[in-house]
Amino acid sequence: MLALVAMQGAETQSPAPATNDAKPQMHTENQPTAGQTAPEFSLPSGDGATVSLKDYKGKWVVLYFYPKDFTSGCTMEAKNFQRDLTKYEQAGAVVLGVSVDSAQSHKEFCAKEGLNFKLLADPDAKISAQYGSTMEYQGAKMAARNTFLINPKGEIAKVYTGVKPAEHSEQILKDLGELKKG
């Protein structure tokens, strides 16, 4: 009987089982809101060029942040933007993607998936942080899946947080049409 009591005591003293908490920790501090001037940036793209927001003054900009090249959700989101690229061009808008992946990774991702818009490398997550769009997932810092629709004056027109990749491009096109009507 004494042994049984000792065993019960040992069970209650054992450490809690390790949990694999796979929820990303979001960092949305400083996230710009509609009506604010969009933070300026200059980042390298997969084609070797440096891309700055000021390069697109006078155009609508879809600036989307995503976690990682070659992953299922990010691939779906990118392919849907590519599918709708002509509609964006007709609306006077440009699509720019940003992640913490390298410019070389972006180059390979664009080639593999047939993407014809620019993906920008933010390896230190500095620009992602300026847009309140970083998260930590399993110890790695990456861009959170947020999008900023920037008007031709360089102001944030609409903010999308925690977007669903499957329908995101269609939603932006719809909102872009409404915003352009005034």
Residues marked active site are found at 74
Q: How far apart are CA 48 and CA 107, in angstroms?
A: 9
Alpha helices by DSSP H, listed for the chain, are: 2-13, 72-83, 85-90, 103-113, 126-130, 165-181
Contact in structure between 40 and 95 (CB atoms under 8 Å)? no
| Angle formed by the axes of helices 165-181 and 72-83, nearest 10° | 40
Secondary structure class of 51 (helix, strand, coil):
strand
Contact in structure between 79 and 110 (CB atoms under 8 Å)? no
Alpha helices by DSSP H, listed for 14-125, are: 72-83, 85-90, 103-113
Q: How far apart are CA 103 and CA 93, in angstroms?
A: 23
